[in-house]
Chains A and B, each alone.
Chain A
C-alpha cells in the first residue's frame, strides 16, 4: 500500500515536468525539424529535402548575419561578465548582511519592467532630441544634437543592460558560498590581490561564471526587441531573419531551418566554451 502511494506521488510529481518537456519543448522542436525539411516546389506541393539548409549555405547574407549575431553576443557576454563580476563580488563579500538584500533587490527591480519599455527608455535617452543629446547641447559641449541611437554600440549597451542580471545572480550565489578564510589564507601565504583573484576567487566562482555566461549568451543571441529597436539601418540580427521568413515572406520552411540552425550554432558555441574552460554542464549549471 505505502509502496503504491510512494509510486503514485512520484508519478504525480514527475508528470508536470514530463508534460512540460514533451509538450512544450520536445514536440515543437520535432515539428520545427520536420517543417525545416520540407521543400516547397509549387503552391501547396512540398517535397522532403535539405533545400532550406542548402539555401542558407549558399547565401552569404544569412551567414554573415549569424556570425554577426554570434560575435556580438559573445562581446555582450564578456562585457556582462566584466561588469557583473565586481558587482556580484561586492554584494556577496563586501556589503553588510543587511544592505546585501537591498542591493540584490535593486538589481532585480529593472526586471519588473518589460523588455519593450526598457528599450523605449533607452530610445528616449539616446535619440537626437533625447535627454543625453539635449544635455550636451545645453551645456555647450556640442552645437548640434548627436544621434546616439541606431548603431552597434547602442545595441551592445542595451543588450548588456538587459541581460546583466542573469550574470549577477548566479555569481552572487556561488561567491556567497566562499568562506572569507580562503581569501585570508591566500594573503597569509604571501599572495597579492591579483594572485588571490586569479588562483582562489575565480576558480571558486567558475561554476557561476560558466552558468552566467551560458544564460547570457543564449538570451542575447535569441533576443529580438533590443537589437530591432536600438539597432540602425545596418544592424541585422538573426532572430529578425527568422521573423522575416515566417511573417513577411510566408516561408515557414526556411524560417524553421533558420531556427534549428540558430539552436545548433549557439549550442556549438556553448559546447566549445565548456571545452576551452575545462568545465562541464554537470559541475557548473547543475550546481548553481
Chain B
C-alpha cells in the first residue's frame, strides 16, 4: 500500500512542477513594497501565461545574490543607478537592455539621461529609471523646529535624540555639510581618502549625540513616532509615511541639497524571461499603475509628471517638504568607481568601532 501512495505523491509532484514550468515565470528581485500585490494580480490578469515571483532585497544583497550565481536565478532586478557600473565591470551580472522594447518616451528625460550616463558600458545601456526619491532629514517640528542641515544632527541641543544610518549616504552627506563635494573627488582617490578621514573624525565626535544608528525603515519609524528621537537622517518615503500618522513630522531637504537616488530596471545576465521582463517594465510605466506603485513605495516614478501621479495623501506630504528651489538643488548620487566601496566600508568600520558617547 505504502509504495503506491508514494508513487502517486511523486506523480502529483512531477505534474505540478510540469504545469508551473510550462507557463512563463517572471522572477523579480526588488525592494520591499516595489511589487504591490494589486499590481501583480493586474499583471497576471493581463498576461495569463506569466506568473510573477517576487524576492525582496536591498542594493547590497541584490548584487551579492546575482554575483553568487553569475547573474542567474532572477529575470529582472532593481538596483539603484549608482550600483550598476562597477558591479557590471567586476562581476558581469547584467545584460544590455534592448531600449527599443521599452517605452522610454514616457520617462522623465532628466532621470533617463542620468541613468543612461551612469550605466553605459561600451555603448550598451544596462539600466533605465523606475522610481526616485531622496535621502534627507526629518524632524518633529514641535521639538526640533530649526533642523535644516546635516550638521544639526550633531547639535548638542538634541543630545541623545537624533539618529542616522551608518552607511555610505551619511559619509557623503557629512562631506557636503562640510562644504566639500565628495563626488568631485571620486577621480582622485588619495584626496577622497583625506576627505573620508575628516568625515570620520566629525562623525566619531558626533557619536555621543546619536541615540542609535537605525538599520531600516521600521526601527527608525518606531523611534521617531515614540518621540525617543526628534530628528534623523531618513529616506523621504519613510518620512512621508510618518507624516500620515503625525503631521508634525516632516521631511526636510538639507540646505546642501537632498541626496537623490534612482532605482532602476536591469536585466540579470542569465535571466531567461526577457520578454516578460520588458512587459513588466512597460506595464508599471502605465499612468494608472504608477499611482498604485507610488502609493506602495512612497517614492516618485521617474516619468514625465511623476509627482502628479502620486496618490493624494503622498502629494500633500511631498508638497509640504519640497519647494522648487529644493528640487533644483537635488544632488544625484554619482557612480561608485571600483575601490571606493572598500574605502568607505573601512571608514564606516572605524566610526562604528570608535568608543565615544
Q: List 26 A-B contacts (CB under 8 A).
A: A43-B89, A44-B92, A61-B350, A65-B353, A128-B226, A128-B228, A129-B227, A150-B211, A233-B357, A234-B352, A234-B353, A234-B355, A241-B349, A244-B349, A245-B345, A248-B60, A248-B341, A248-B345, A249-B341, A250-B64, A250-B67, A250-B87, A250-B341, A251-B342, A251-B345, A252-B67
The residue in chain B whose Cβ has the minimal distance to the Cβ of A43 is B90
A249–B342 alpha-carbon span in the complex (Å) = 6
Total residue contacts A-B, CB cutoff 8 A: 70
Is A131 in contact with chain B by the CB < 8 A criterion? no
Q: How many A residues face the partner with a CB closer than 8 A?
A: 26
B342 touches A129 (CB 8 A): no
On chain A, the residues within 8 Å of B89 by CB distance are: 43-44
Please report the C-alpha to C-alpha distance between residue A236 and residue B348 in the assembled complex, in whole angstroms. 11
Residue in A147, A236, A246 whose beta carbon sits within 8 Å of that of B64 in the complex? A246
Is A247 touching B64 in the complex (CB atoms < 8 A)?
A: yes
Shortest distance between the CB of A230 and any CB in chain B (Å): 10
- CB of B210 within 8 A of chain A? yes
- From 12 to 46 in chain A, residues with beta carbon under 8 angstroms from any chain B beta carbon are 43-44
The answer to whether A149 and B212 have CB atoms under 8 Å apart is: yes
Chain B, interface SS category: helix
Check A233–B341 contact: CB distance below 8 A.
no
B27 at the interface (CB under 8 A from A): no
Q: Please indicate the chain A residues that have their CB under 8 angstroms from the CB of B338 in the complex.
A: 43
**B interface, size bucket:** 35 or more
Per the bound structure, the CA–CA distance linking A160 and B341 in Å amounts to: 36
Chain A at the B interface: mostly helix, strand, loop or mixed?
A: loop
In whole Å, how far is A29's beta carbon from the nearest beta carbon of chain B? Answer: 17
The closest CB in chain B to the CB of A240 belongs to: B352
- CB of A127 closer than 8 Å to a CB of B: yes
How far is A64 from B167 in the complex, measured between Cα atoms in Å?
21
Binding site for A on B (CB under 8 A): 60-61, 63-64, 67, 87, 89-92, 160, 167, 207, 210-213, 215, 222, 226-228, 338, 341-342, 345, 348-350, 352-357
Residue of A nearest to B226 (CB): A129
Among candidates A236, A246, A251, residue contacting B353 with C-beta atoms closer than 8 Å: A236
A233 engages B349 (CB within 8 Å): no
Q: How far is the CA of A149 from the CA of B87 in the complex (A)?
A: 37
Mask: chain A, 118-140; 1 = CB below 8 Å from B; 0 = not: 00000000011100000000000
Q: Which residues from B are CB-within-8-Å of A234?
A: 207, 352-357
Partner of A247, one of B61, B227, B357: B61
C-alpha gap A150/B207 in the complex (Å): 13
Nearest 3 A/B pairs, CB to CB:
A249-B345, A129-B226, A43-B90
Q: Which B residues are CB-close (under 8 A) to A61?
A: 349-350, 353
* A127, B354: Cβ atoms closer than 8 Å: no
Told that A127-B226, A149-B212 touch, could you supply 11 new A-B pairs with CB distance under 8 A? A44-B91, A64-B353, A128-B228, A147-B160, A233-B213, A233-B352, A234-B353, A236-B349, A236-B353, A248-B341, A251-B342
Give chain B nearest CB distance to A123 CB in angstroms: 8
Contacts of A244 in B (CB 8 A): 345, 348-349
A232 close to B (CB within 8 Å): yes
Distance of A228 Cα from B352 Cα, bound (Å):
12
- Which residues does chain A contribute within 8 Å of B207, judged by CB atoms? 233-234
List A contacts of B160 (CB < 8 A). Answer: 147
A221-239: contact bitstring with B at CB < 8 Å (1 yes, 0 no)? 0000000100011101000
Cβ A250 vs Cβ B352 within 8 A: no
